[in-house]
Amino acid sequence: MKKKRPVTRVYQLRVSLMHVQPEMWRRILVAGETDLNALHHVVQTEMGWQDMHLHVFRVGDVEYSDPDMEVAGAKSEFSARLFRIAPKVGDSFMYEYDFGDSWNHTITVEAVSENDERYPGHPVCIGGENACPPEDCGGVPGYERLMEARRRPKRS
């Protein structure tokens, strides 16, 4: 007899880096029970960041961050679960990484299902486009200068 998997709400999220072209995004599957600290680590991995800077999640007027980072006024991201802050399809919230460069991401719930066969029991990236800017490149303006320099022909 085949063992039945426990019912797990699986969230399909689209994580989009804002204000850069070409568009940079990832589609990930995570459990609805995922707390925002765990989601932070998933986003860091899937977007290609190196987790070298402060971060904050913004859900409406409420901010969440790691309490050890002492982000003024932020609630603990360990207590905020995905299924509570964004319970339905179409819900979205913000994630900012690196307060100096201000890499802002929109995280949108694209689908919520139970026992999604694509979900192996841990977060997984199922789609996306383009690599993120390198760390410490100066935010959107610095990234744009970097991309312009790469497009110029090399001089000998």
- Judge whether 3 lies within some domain: no
Number of domains in the chain: 1
Question: Which DSSP string do the residues of 48-111 spell out, in sequence order?
Answer: T----S-EEEEETTEEEE-GGG--TTPEETTS-BHHHHS-STT-EEEEEE-TTTTEEEEEEEEE
- Judge whether 129 lies within some domain: yes
| In the predicted structure, residue 61 carries a pLDDT above the cut 70 | yes
| Of residues 95 and 145, more confidently modeled | 95
Q: Which pLDDT value is given to residue 116?
A: 86
- Judge whether 134 lies within some domain: yes
Q: Which domain holds residue 100?
A: 9-151
Q: Which pLDDT value is given to residue 2?
A: 56
- Pick the range with the lowest mean pLDDT from 19-23, 57-61, 77-81, 109-113: 19-23
Question: Can you give the CATH number for the domain in which 140 is found?
Answer: 3.10.290.30
Range 131-142 average pLDDT: 90
| In the predicted structure, residue 67 carries a pLDDT above the cut 90 | yes
